[in-house]
């Protein structure tokens, strides 16, 4: 069979398959979404490829006009960057997707074992392709490129994600299993004029700093109460794979990462004084937990329910004492060997029990020994703001500007959006700053400040839309001055 005929058969198979995939790339999901743009025509060299691969239902809208560089033609669609190489002699390779996934800076360390399904997952170049993505990957593998990660959990966008060099896959946790979409690589990286969902882009970069060996199991078992990982996984001197979460420390044998258990974090921190246990007793709304054959402590029923959901006493460890009040608003705390629980009987049912963030405290204590990746903080990002005019009349337009740089390198940060809050007498004005350009600059124009008193000092604040634990903001002022 000739190569051209073979390629047509491949596309025919893809065309039959992709209608079964969910319509991809919903433009209303999270991040910075632009106003509807006028439709852009696809370059004729890409039309057949685009349609045979699934068209807009799979690859999303066309985002940019075609452009030429390095004797090749390119055009962005939501799913990625199409490239046409007329010098390529093999017809099946003349059109491909460029490796935008590499620009997302998300790559798992393949040497770190992860929880996986050896029966249904697919091992590719040291990474396990998630079982729900296997069929889509196998049909798209000639276009998707090499894997960059195992499957990852994105808590902020509530979805499974897996990254490949040219394309990415995801499934929302609220969708039925097997509902596969393509990540919008092209929408993230199209450029200043056409990038969309930039907050989602920065979220992926932040989340990608921490490998997730246990997250698949934590999510599958609904152990969300443990929080999210706050430090990179480590291999401990006793040969265990260990990772600090917000509220606990998980560990497992290196060769059996699915055998997850919890470290005695409460004992390690030493914050709790172990009380003297007492013989079995009964009390309404309480469950008796033994610490040895005859002695133990009473545990509130709702705390016991949480322990059961988190794998039972094997994961909580033994109680260290009775529940005790820690706040005047009716908050009680009970600690176990592996975690502590705060209990507020009068709170709404979904907020009555929650784990204490002891993992965060532990990580802070051992900050010099753990890798605590935080891409975006006031210490790593330099935000400078200014106004075009130190004073304006109430009929003039003021222009606010932000300049965003990486502190360490001084390089501009591209595609960072911001929010400006202008404090006026009796009211506030909130405006969005578009993504920064290649120089790290973005501006927004204020409407005339009609009705503002002469000589009023106007304070404004600009904050960056980055996934930062502490806001990255700067404030300044200008004056409204109406000449006589």
Q: d(Cα 320, Cα 333) in Å, to the nearest integer?
A: 11
Residue 185 · residue 79 · CB < 8 Å: yes
Rounded average pLDDT over 139-159: 95
Residue 80 · residue 116 · CB < 8 Å: no
Q: d(Cα 238, Cα 241) in Å, to the nearest integer?
A: 9
Alpha helices (H) along 54-181: 55-59, 131-144
Q: What is the pLDDT of residues 210-265, one digit of tens each?
A: 999 999 999 999 999 999 999 999 999 989 999 999 999 999 999 999 999 999 99
* Per-domain residue ranges of the chain: 1-209, 222-365, 381-480
In this prediction, residue 36 carries a pLDDT of 56
User: What is the SS3 assignment for 53?
Assistant: helix
Band of pLDDT at residue 12, cut at 50, 70 and 90: very low
Band of pLDDT at residue 29, cut at 50, 70 and 90: very low
Q: d(Cα 83, Cα 86) in Å, to the nearest integer?
A: 10
Residue 269 · residue 361 · CB < 8 Å: yes
Q: What is the pLDDT of residues 429-448, one digit of tens each?
A: 999 999 999 999 999 999 99
Residue 242 · residue 256 · CB < 8 Å: no
Per-residue b or e along 224-251, where b marks 16 or more CB atoms closer than 10 Å to that residue's CB: ebbbbbbbbbbeeeeebbbbbbbbbbbb
- Which residue from 277, 348, 36, 78 is spatially nearest to 188, judged by alpha carbons? 78
In this prediction, residue 5 carries a pLDDT of 42
Rounded average pLDDT over 278-283: 95
What percent of the chain has a predicted confidence (pLDDT) above 90? 81
Maximum pairwise Cα distance, the chain: 90
Q: Phi, psi at residue 189, to the nearest 5°?
A: -115, 15
What pTM was computed for the model?
0.85
User: Residue 36 burial (CB < 10 Å; 0-12/13-18/19+)?
Assistant: exposed
In this prediction, residue 90 carries a pLDDT of 82
Q: d(Cα 423, Cα 460) in Å, to the nearest integer?
A: 6
Rounded average pLDDT over 364-390: 87
Fold of 381-480: Immunoglobulin-like (2.60.40)
């Amino acid at each position: 069979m000739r190569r051209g005929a073979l390629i047509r058969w491949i596309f025919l198979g893809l065309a039959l398959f992709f209608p079964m995939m969910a319509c991809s790339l919903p433009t209303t999901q999270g991040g910075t979404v632009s106003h509807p743009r006028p439709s852009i025509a696809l370059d004729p060299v890409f039309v057949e490829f685009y349609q045979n691969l699934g068209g807009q239902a799979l690859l999303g809208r066309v985002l940019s006009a075609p452009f030429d560089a390095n004797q090749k033609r390119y055009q962005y669609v939501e799913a990625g960057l199409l490239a046409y190489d007329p010098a390529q002699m093999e017809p099946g390779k003349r059109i491909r997707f460029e490796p935008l996934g590499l620009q997302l800076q998300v790559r798992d360390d393949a040497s770190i074992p992860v929880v996986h399904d050896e029966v249904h997952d697919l091992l590719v170049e040291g990474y396990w392709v998630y079982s729900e993505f296997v069929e889509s990957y196998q049909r798209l593998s000639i276009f998707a490129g090499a894997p960059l990660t195992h499957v990852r959990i994105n808590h902020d966008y509530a979805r499974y994600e897996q990254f490949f060099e040219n394309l990415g896959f995801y499934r929302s946790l609220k969708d039925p299993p097997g509902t596969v979409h393509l990540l919008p690589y092209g929408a993230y990286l199209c450029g200043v004029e056409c990038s969309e969902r930039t907050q989602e882009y920065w979220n992926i970069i932040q989340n990608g700093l921490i490998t997730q060996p246990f997250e698949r199991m934590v999510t599958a078992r609904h152990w969300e109460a443990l929080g999210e990982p706050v430090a990179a996984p480590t291999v401990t001197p006793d040969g265990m794979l260990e990772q600090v979460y917000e509220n606990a420390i998980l560990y497992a044998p290196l060769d059996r990462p699915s055998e997850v258990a919890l470290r005695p974090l409460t004992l390690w921190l030493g914050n709790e004084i172990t009380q003297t246990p007492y013989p079995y007793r009964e009390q309404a709304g309480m469950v008796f937990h033994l610490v040895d054959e005859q002695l133990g402590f009473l545990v509130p029923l709702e705390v016991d329910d949480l322990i059961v959901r988190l794998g039972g006493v094997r994961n909580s460890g033994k109680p260290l004492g009775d529940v005790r009040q820690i706040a005047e608003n009716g908050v009680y705390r009970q600690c176990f060997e592996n975690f502590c629980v705060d209990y507020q009987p009068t709170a709404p049912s979904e907020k009555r029990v929650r784990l204490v963030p002891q993992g965060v405290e532990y990580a802070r204590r051992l900050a010099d020994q753990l890798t605590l990746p935080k891409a975006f903080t006031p210490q790593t990002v330099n935000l400078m703001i200014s106004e075009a005019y130190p004073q304006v009349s109430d009929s003039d337009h003021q222009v606010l500007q932000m300049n965003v740089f990486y502190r360490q390198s001084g390089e501009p940060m591209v595609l960072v959006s911001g929010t400006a809050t202008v404090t006026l007498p009796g009211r506030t004005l909130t405006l969005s700053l578009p993504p920064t350009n290649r120089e790290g600059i973005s501006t927004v124009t204020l409407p005339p400040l009609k009705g503002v008193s002469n000589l009023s000092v106007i304070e404004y604040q600009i904050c960056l839309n980055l996934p930062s634990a502490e806001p990255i903001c700067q404030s300044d002022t200008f004056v409204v001055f109406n000449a006589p």
